[in-house]
Structure 1
Amino acid sequence: MSTPVLGNNKRASCGPGNGIRQNSLLLFLLLALASCTLVAAQQPPYDVYPEAKPPYYRVRYEASGKPGELIFPVNYTVWIPPQCETLRGVIVHQHGCGEGSCKSGLTGAFDLHWQALAQKHDCALVGPSYEQPQSADCQMWCDPRNGSDASFRQALTDLGQQSGHPELSSVPWALWGHSGGGHWAGGMVMLHPNRVAAAWLRSGVPLFEANPDRKSIQPHELPEAALKVPIMCNPGTKEGVTVKDGRFAGVWPANQTFFAEVRGKGGLVGVAVDPLTAHECGNQRYLAILWLDACLQARLPETNGHALREMSLEDSWLAVIDGKTATAAKDFDGEPLSAGWLPGERIAKAWMQYVNDTNITDDTPPSAPKEVRVVDGELTWAADADLESGLARFIIERDGEFLANVPEKSQNPFGRPLFQNLQYSDTPVQPLTQMRFAIPDGDDPQSHRYRVFAENTAGLKSKPAEVAP
């Protein structure tokens, strides 16, 4: 592997990810990417991205020409919870195939909602970005056996040294992946089952059958240890469930095959069909974060270096994979290994809401903003995202009267409006939305009382926070 380049910190905007295109049943995770084994030279930086200053750290590797090593340049950005003394795990947010999706990965570690999950469990949040040209073969990174496994593990070592958290290289992983990223995350479960606490596979799964038309697609083997890893498959309904043709129609059959293979052998795999979407990520994060929260709570060891704990099956719930109702396992009327597995009543109830309309109930408001200040004519603050429902906006009051929303209008073409907006691959839009508001001209900040409220995507408002004295 080539020598890493650390801390490339240029910033600007980049467009939304365009995902990967599909031409046939078994090629759903390639989605019209042309085959290629050699890669055109890429000059760093692949794109411009947010500045990486503590608690963010970044490492970048050049492409390798050695057999079996990664043929694309790649960078990894990690966020470390500021108050965390010793990390207990790593949450990986893995983008999909195609140049647009790869660029969208540049902001994965900056997502406030995913940071809330990481902070709760003393985990780092890692956002990889593979520098794959649009015409190149996605398999050369989304199959981790083609060098991305080794590159990822090297990055954890290097980022651990850079951040002062050497335990980053040895703690367990919770993996989230979209499309080709789902293939990668599932493939990592097959390669490192004893290292993975849980894996969420959005619109992409590893394959267990060879494809004679594409020699680069090699089947995975299913080790027995992988059957103990909680896995959730999360296709959109328009990816072959209700829409049976088109470029995404093969996603559902591939998910069915993966599910039957893993669940049929007793694996802890479930299926949550997104009722609103095709290949875009939609509102999946509101179930994915709750599900990963439950899995991390159950599986992370109390002491680093100890093995992951096994999931308890006593409180399991089961659900028909394309159905709308979940039932406690003890009350399930059917073959248990034909039904999707869910880790308890809380997640089962959220699952039922998600597969119906994605509107998962939340009755807990976000915490109040903090560090509210007036600096050079601007109101600034900090805030933690609500674990259940993230952040939609901030509300500014002046002397008890509404003054403004920040942002003025939240935008998200793929789901609920979010403070940071959202790209196709479930990552914030660049440039990152800032927690600041320009005080209107003519206002004397010393003569007014400013208050800031946080509002989550369920419409719940926090207590107010005022300018610090």
Structure 2
Amino acid sequence: MTRPALALLAAALLAPAAPAQQPPYDAFPPADPPYYRVRYAAPAEPGGLAFAVNYTVWLPPGVKTLRGVVVHQHGCGEGSCRSGLTGAYDLHWQALAKKHGCALLSPAYEQPEKADCQLWCDPRNGSDAAFRKALADLGVKAGHPELAAVPWALWGHSGGGHWAGGMVMLHPERVAAAWLRSGVPVLAADPARAGIKAHTLPAAALAVPLMCNLGTKEGVTVKGDRFAGVWVANEAFFTTVRGRGGLVGVSVDPLTSHECGNQRYLAIPWLDACLTARLPAKAGDPLRPMPADKAWLAPPTGTTASAAAGFSGDALKAGWLPDEATAKLWERYVGDTKVPDTTAPPAPTNVRLTGNRLTWDAEADVESGLAKFVIERDGKALAEVAGKNPFGRPLFQGLQYSDTPPQPLGVMQFTDATAEPGRRHVYRVIAVNTASLSSPPSAEAAR
């Protein structure tokens, strides 16, 4: 790897996210059940994690025994760290976790803007130990001690990808799958990468499904800017892991640079497929291996995938995909990111009317999340409740640079300022996902 490319990579790893939440770091939503939070101060003595850190976890209401934990790890820089404060509140990621009986956990490191990101994104620098302590402490707090021992599904952005990949190298037996957005761990020592210590690639890590995901403007088609080194690092990581038979693929976002964009519409189905295949039927049993006979392969920067059994090229130079359904979604994602969906979201529930104020509950569609709600009054559409997303598909909760909702979080409520005094009105709420599919109407609420 050339020194200019390495310099670009270092800049990318240390780059802050676009402006998001304002300080201080404790400006987060309340952690009332089913949310729980712990915070660890930075230790006064040397040798521990250099920064204070918050861990917030969400548990699917009514879950009896957790089967795993989905971890959403932010990237480097103060803006990205603040964005981690809302990760556990993301309705779309909650839908994935709930489907598999998993918790959803989001760390938020209190890293000052100019501080060295490696002090947390290399898990050997204390963040591995802090993460495992948090699982144990949160498990006790939530009444689910199994949280300390369940498997992990890891998602990480930028330095968070470096962290997630590093955790695979350290604990391959615990990781069901890992999605690495714009960041990967280092597997070969390089004097030019001062301060970035290489990981050892254990044989067990080759059985962990991995996805290297990055924007095309991070060195694939756009070269020479601050993020061009991301592709250089991803290509080196992919070549090493896949060359040894590892289950690793590459998905290039055709629209973005370092921002996360629409990646969740492939990341969540990909993790869904991996969790379906790997989580054991009985809690405490080892993770199951991925079925070899269902795999598909694709050139790392190509746009077409094919069944592994009929692949004509060098399989150890092709990206791995778990099955045909995921491969078809991958093809659409690397084409234009418009990953299709044919399933409507569930109807909103618990619709309540207090005066002119309507409130409701809703769960996200696993495949496509929630874009907005349509409010009906007396059988006719009255208004929409929606959020803004400058980085991709419109989302009810909105989206930050690092794939988490901004604060204040979106609220499921609507006040009808045009209701006629003394007249009875009947209201219903319809959920719409990001593929523009509508749910059935909710039950009625009237006044």
Change (3 A) 1:297 1:92: same
Give every structure 1 segment of 4 or more consecutive aligned residues whose post-TM-superposition deviation is greater than 6 Å.
none
Give the alignment partner of residue 464 of structure 1, picking from 433, 436, 441. Answer: 441
8 A Cα contact 1:237 1:278, kept in partner: yes
Question: By percentage of residues, which structure has more helix?
Answer: 2
Matches within 5 A, 1:227-246: 227-246=206-225
The residue type equivalent to 2:201 in the other structure is L
Q: Distance in 1 between matches of 2:445 and 2:63?
A: 25
Q: Distance in 1 between matches of 2:110 and 2:26?
A: 9
Give the alignment partner of residue 420 of structure 1, picking from 391, 397, 411. Answer: 397
Give the alignment partner of residue 435 of structure 1, picking from 412, 423, 429. Answer: 412
The residue type equivalent to 1:424 in the other structure is Y
Residue 303 of structure 1 corresponds to 282
Matches within 5 A, 1:116-195: 116-195=95-174
Change (3 A) 1:254 1:147: same
Q: Distance in 2 between matches of 1:295 and 1:85?
A: 22
8 A Cα contact 2:296 2:324, kept in partner: yes
Change (3 A) 1:152 1:141: same
CA shift for structure 1 position 342: 0.4
8 A Cα contact 1:95 1:179, kept in partner: yes
The residue type equivalent to 1:423 in the other structure is Q
SS at 2:36 equivalent: strand
Q: Distance in 1 between matches of 2:305 and 2:389?
A: 30
Matches within 5 A, 1:262-411: 262-407=241-386, 410-411=387-388
Please list the CA deviations of residues 325-376 of structure 1 after superposition, one character each: whole Å capped at 9, or x if unmatched. 0000111111100000000100000000000001111111111000001124
Q: Distance in 1 between matches of 2:238 and 2:164?
A: 15
Residue 3 of structure 1 corresponds to none
Change (3 A) 1:29 1:104: farther
Please list the CA deviations of residues 365-397 of structure 1 after superposition, one character each: whole Å capped at 9, or x if unmatched. 111000001124310000010001000000001
The residue type equivalent to 2:291 in the other structure is S
8 A Cα contact 1:248 1:279, kept in partner: yes
SS at 2:220 equivalent: coil
8 A Cα contact 1:24 1:247, kept in partner: no
Residue 96 of structure 1 corresponds to 75
The residue type equivalent to 1:309 in the other structure is R
Q: Distance in 2 between matches of 1:58 and 1:398?
A: 39
Matched-pair identity in %:
66
Q: What are the ranges of 5 or more consecutive residues in structure 1 without an aligned counterpart?
A: 1-21, 35-43
SS at 2:240 equivalent: helix
8 A Cα contact 1:371 1:467, kept in partner: no
Number of residues of Structure 1 aligned to a counterpart in Structure 2: 437
Give me the TM-score of the superposition, normalised by structure 1: 0.90
Residue 7 of structure 1 corresponds to none
The residue type equivalent to 1:142 in the other structure is C
Q: Distance in 1 between matches of 2:181 and 2:193?
A: 23
Q: Distance in 1 between matches of 2:389 and 2:445?
A: 32
Q: Distance in 2 between matches of 1:273 and 1:177?
A: 16
2:173 counterpart of 1:201 = no
Change (3 A) 1:153 1:467: same
CA shift for structure 1 position 281: 0.2
Please list the CA deviations of residues 306-339 of structure 1 after superposition, one character each: whole Å capped at 9, or x if unmatched. 1000001101100000000000011111110000
8 A Cα contact 1:29 1:179, kept in partner: no
Give the alignment partner of residue 221 of structure 1, picking from 200, 203, 225. Answer: 200
2:5 counterpart of 1:28 = no
Residue 247 of structure 1 corresponds to 226
Q: Distance in 1 between matches of 2:107 and 2:142?
A: 16
Q: Distance in 2 between matches of 1:90 and 1:444?
A: 49
Q: What are the ranges of 5 or more consecutive residues in structure 2 without an aligned counterpart?
A: 16-22
Residue 18 of structure 2 corresponds to none
Change (3 A) 1:187 1:445: farther
